[in-house]
Amino acid sequence: MAVDVALLKRATVARRSTGNEAVSVAPAGPPARYLIVSPQGGAAEAARRLELLFGDEPVEINRLDAEQLVLVFPGRSFPLGLENASAAEQVGDEIREALGARLVAPDLPRQAAPVMPDWVPGLESTDNFPLGCWVAEEADLNQRPLWALDTLKVREAWRLSQSMGRPAMGEGIVIAQPDTGITGHVELSDVKLAGAFNTLGDGPADAATDPLDTGFALNPGHGTGTGSVAVSRSRDQAGRLVGTAPLASHMPIRALRSVWAHEELPIAQAVDLATEKGAHVITMSLGGVALPFSPLRAAIRRAVAKNVIVMAAAGNCVGIVVYPARFAECIAVGGTNQRDGKWPGSCSGPAVDISAPAQNVFRASVEPRPMGSIGQGQGTSFAVALLSGVAACWLAHHGRARLIAEAQARGETLQTMFRRLARATARRPAGWDAANLGAGIVDAEALLKAPFDLGLGTESPAFEAESREPADEMRVFVTQLLGADPELDDEMLLRHGSALAEALLALRLDPAATPALPAVLTAALKGPLAIRPGPALVPPALHMTDLDALAAQAEQADRIRRALAFGKAVSAGDSIESAAGGGATALPDAAELSARLDQLLARPDHRTPQERADFEKAVELVRLHGINGVEKLADPKALVAPSELAAAEAVVKADGSRPSFLLRKGEVDPGDPFAGSWGDRMIARRQDIATRAALCGRIQPTRGHANRYCGTGALVDPGGPWVLSNFHVIQQALKSYPLFNFPTERGLRITGGLEIDFVAETDATETNRWSIEEAVFPNMAGEGFHSIDAVLLRLGKSLDGKPLPAQEPGHMIDRIVFSPVNGLVTGEMPLLAVIGFPSRPPQNTGIVDGIDWGWVVGQLFGGRFGVKRLAPGEFYRGLGSHPQDAETRFAFGHDATTMKGSSGSFAFSLTEAESPAFGLHFAGYDNDSNFALTTAALLQGFEGRGVAFP
């Protein structure tokens, strides 16, 4: 079967003369490319057949991997105007049929912003925005041209590195920049190059020269402008421009002709090339629609796996975060102005990780030619470029090799560690819109000062983002653009989802537009294309020095002393009330601890021989190192090493002082080997615990399980029904799983992909799953301190045909009611518990002096994670006692054993007879307390949000 070559010619323009054919009007553009996925007979057979399909038309065939090929037409190019996109897709359909492939997709220059007003002056892409997106230049900024650096505290970060004798300003770090290429602008003339490349195919492969072509949708000078805010060394006599990492090396790669309408395959190739050539940071000031089976996403994954930090602009003017920024593996950067507010053109939403200046940032301009100039520019293109320099400063300050080792010790990639620390140290101005603009505004100085564990305490399971099926990825994107489920089958989404997404982006820019769609897609949509978006949400750091770290170690030691003394006192016959709150002070001696561990080993269990051997090894490590640590803790003045503190933490979990009980049918086994000091109280509160446990569920993606979930939720209103959890739980779900959603005035409408299971107990075979259909964000929504880290989730239908737990026979209460009694959050009734779903510590986390204490704790838990557990403990720290809570006074501390996965657990009293709930657990740190939001904070958060908090 041959392909209609005339159809191919109608879909493309000639790049050079081919006999009788005239050369196309310059610029010719890159070669036309098609992505081929899973051809029958394999890649080699497909390559053989492709050479026969096009007659005299030259073709090249490149192999991406075992399942994907790229078909290249070196003599033809797709025009930016996409006048004949349907013809290009028809050619793809013919190739697909000829090869029996799963998918053949043209790599068209899909337009994120196809309407470019003729009247807009200048050549910079940052000036060429639709009405309502850009703002006027701000004259007052001419007196503060480095305002963006000061907003990010970049110069303070440089001084910090210099004062400590460390590499500063990104020295020794390579920043790669796939973009339009660069020019000979003076602001880049002294920058050290780490190579320059072209993957677009319109110039020499070893050069990144921007031809400065003008015309529809082109962005001459874009790469020069964005590169300058990252690496410029300030050649301007007035000192108006300097990059965030002026001593970093620059690797420009010409991978696109237009930031607004670009092909994907050259960018994917650029990411792979940058990784191969030794880039340490990759910054992408671009965005749009992604191909199904995205090669760019695969390239980003490969880069991240090799410890390259990869980031991209959230996007401009279309509201929703675009690709590649919206890929979970990529750091997405939103845009702000000089007043720490949102730049009006910044795309926003849950995909944004963090924000940086984007409105009237000083950058290099290629106009007037040939010398160029410096002026104000706008776009998240600049926000991500600024962050890339900050990342280079961080890598230089600590040393990249050391940071990789520290990340691996925590079970993370370098990308994950950088993202976590950048978010944890971000500056959050008053009224910050964390639901749409990320954790805050980048703070370079705080980032460089941050201890490497900062941010680990936000306790959603540390699972890497799942790879969505290509059709699901497209469905999520189109659902958010459309404001409803498109109700298209997977095949239709794979073949035509990119065209649909492009049309919806066009309608966001111009509601009167009439984008052309393939006839088969128009018929499948069952009506005219129209966007039904919900209205956007109303826009509304802890710095640890070495002394801070020592103080945190001292607090950790004090907390462990209290827990161990509590266990000893109760074992000796004291009541748990008298032992709580610091009433007990004597620590167990070595013989007592050793006897408790012997009792633990003597307990019969159902482990396999290998599991038993691992368990015994873990207990002996606790005995060997933990007893020494506890003996040192007996002397308040003694300096206890981190390894000894880690061992003592394990003792607290092993000896019953702060256990974590498995629940079966809501009940604690009174013979549990870890019952220790708490057994009698668990029996006394047996009915209360069972009733409350039934109202607690595991939040997870559709058909989730103990290794695939994101947190805990509690039924607080059966009438909605409404479930309470943490804001960061829903944020993690959005990043990790294929959730179909779109924004509403008060949060998100979720049309599929998320559920809660109210059973989720160990060894349970039954489930009681309910769909989650809406998320309501509180006032001051955000992750961690300074925010109200909470969310109300409205349930939809039962997925198992069962009633809510509250409606089942034998339940005395139908909801978790939060008590406003002040004594509960001031420590007057100190005994409490939380119910949640702790997750397995990631492998190699918690390694101290060669011992993986995370593995040890995993053995003590019997390998049973992600299932319902109850953890008792004590009130530990009062309101406002944490430095980040000093002003808001939203949180109190407790010392129950939680771990990741317990996010969204409710804290309830074990002192009061009715066991009322009084806190929402949201954070925990190994060297600090766990923390929970008070009832008063929750009431304040949901006031006026259209849903009553009980």
One domain for residues 183 and 225: yes
Kindly state whether residue 579 falls inside one of the protein's structural domains.
yes
Buried/exposed code over 713-728 (b: 16+ C-beta within 10 A; e: otherwise): bbbbbbebbbbbbbbb
pLDDT band at 16 (very low <50, low <70, confident <90, very high): low
More confident residue, 359 or 66: 359
pLDDT given for residue 527 in this prediction = 62
Is the pLDDT at 56 greater than 90, yes or no?
no
pLDDT of 77: 92
Give the mean model confidence (pLDDT) for residues 883-898.
Answer: 86
* Average pLDDT score over residue span 558-587: 69
- Evaluate whether 721 touches 804 at the Cβ level (below 8 Å): yes
Provide the percentage of residues in the chain whose pLDDT is more than 70: 84
First to last CA, the chain: 68
Least confident of 48-57, 440-449, 701-710, 851-860: 851-860
* 435 falls within a domain: no
CATH number, domain of 714, equals: 2.40.10.10
Q: What is the pLDDT of residues 141-187, one digit of tens each?
A: 999 999 999 999 999 999 999 999 999 999 999 999 999 999 888 88
Residue 745 lies in a domain: yes
pLDDT score at 260: 75
Average pLDDT over residues 516-524: 81
Tell me what pLDDT residue 768 has.
Answer: 96
If you average pLDDT over residues 299-319, what whole number do you get? Answer: 95
Q: What is the pLDDT of residue 559?
A: 74
- Residues 179, 97, single domain; the answer is no
926 belongs to a structural domain: yes
Query: How many domains in the chain?
Result: 5
Please, what is the angle between helix 642-654 and helix 546-571, to 10°? 30
The residue among 394, 419, 436 that closes a domain is 394
Structure tokens at 644: 């000894």
Q: What is the pLDDT, as a whole number, of residue 608?
A: 83
CA dist 81 and 636 (Å) reads: 74
Of 394, 426, 453, the residue that ends a domain is 394
Residue 405 domain-assigned? no
Considering the domain architecture, whether residues 195 and 313 belong to the same structural domain is answered as yes
At residue 932, the pLDDT reads 92
Q: Which whole number is the average pLDDT over 490-494?
A: 90
Is the residue at 10 inside a domain? yes
Q: How confident is the model at residue 543 (pLDDT cuts 50, 70, 90)?
A: very low
Same-domain check for residues 822 and 792: no
Q: Which domain holds residue 746?
A: 694-807
Helix (H, G, I), strand (E, B) or coil at 842: coil
Q: Report residue 129 CA to chain centroid gap.
A: 28
pLDDT at residue 216, rounded to an integer: 60
Output 12 or 847, whichever has higher pLDDT. 12
CATH number at 47 reads 3.30.70
pLDDT at res. 537 = 24
State both tokens at 10: 């109608």
Report d(CA 177, CA 96) in Å as an integer.
34
pLDDT of residue 536: 28
Beta strand 249-254 pairing with 197-198: parallel
How far apart CA 640 and CA 117 sit, in angstroms, is: 67
pLDDT of residue 129 exceeding 50, the answer is: no
pLDDT at 131 over 60: no
Decide which of 773 and 741 is more confident: 773
> Does residue 128 sit within a domain?
no
Instruction: Taking residues 357-376, report their average pLDDT.
Output: 84
Are both 226 and 364 inside the same structural domain? yes
Residues 668 and 735 in one domain: no
Give, in order, the Cα–Cα distances in Å from 2 to each of 46, 55, 605, 710: 14, 8, 68, 50
Find the range with the poorest average confidence among 297-306, 369-378, 435-444: 369-378
Query: Looking at the domain assignment, is residue 130 inside a domain?
Result: no
Give tens-digit pLDDT for 650-683: 777 666 678 888 898 888 876 676 666 677 777 7
Mean pLDDT of 566-590: 68
- Do residues 676 and 726 share a domain? no
Q: Residue 545: exposed, middle, or buried by beta-carbon count in 10 A (0-12, 13-18, 19+)?
A: exposed
- Mean pLDDT, range 758-785, rounded to an integer: 92
pLDDT, mean over the chain? 83
673 and 705, same domain (yes or no): no
How far is residue 699's CA from residue 459's CA, in Å, rounded to a whole number?
A: 13
Query: Burial code of 172-194, b = ≥16 C-beta within 10 A, e = fewer?
Result: ebbbbbbbbbbbebbbbeebeeb
Q: What pLDDT shows up at residue 449?
A: 97
Q: Are residues 798 and 852 in the same domain?
A: no
pLDDT number for residue 594: 84
Return the CATH number at 362: 3.40.50.200
pLDDT recorded at residue 55: 82
Name the DSSP letter for residue 822: G
Q: Give yes or no for a contact between 864 and 761, defined as CB atoms under 8 angstroms apart.
A: no
Which pLDDT belongs to residue 467? Answer: 64
Clarify whether residues 365 and 239 are in a common domain.
yes
Does the pLDDT value for residue 514 go beyond 80?
no
**Quick check: 189 pLDDT over 80?**
yes
* CA distances, 328 to each of 419, 432, 743 (Å): 11, 22, 18
Same domain, 92 and 222: no
* CA-based nearest residue to 201, from 72, 296, 297: 72
- Residue 583's pLDDT is 65
Strongest mean pLDDT among 74-83, 297-306, 759-768? 297-306
Plot region of 170 (φ>0 → left; ψ -120 to 50 → alpha; else → beta): left
Q: Taking 80 as the threshold, does the pLDDT of residue 857 lie above it?
A: no
Residue 563 is predicted with a pLDDT of 75
Q: Please name the residue that has the structure tokens 């239908």.
A: 797
Question: Residue 539: what pLDDT?
Answer: 27
The 10s digit of each residue's pLDDT in 260-306 is: 788 999 999 999 999 999 999 999 999 999 999 999 999 999 999 99
Calculate mean pLDDT across residues 690-696: 92
- Picking from 394, 421, 452, the residue at the C-terminal end of a domain is 394
3-state secondary structure (DSSP) of residue 923: strand
Counting residues of the chain whose pLDDT is more than 90, the rounded percentage is 43
Both 210 and 329 in a single domain? yes
* pLDDT at site 331: 97
Q: Is 928 or 500 the better-scoring residue by pLDDT?
A: 500
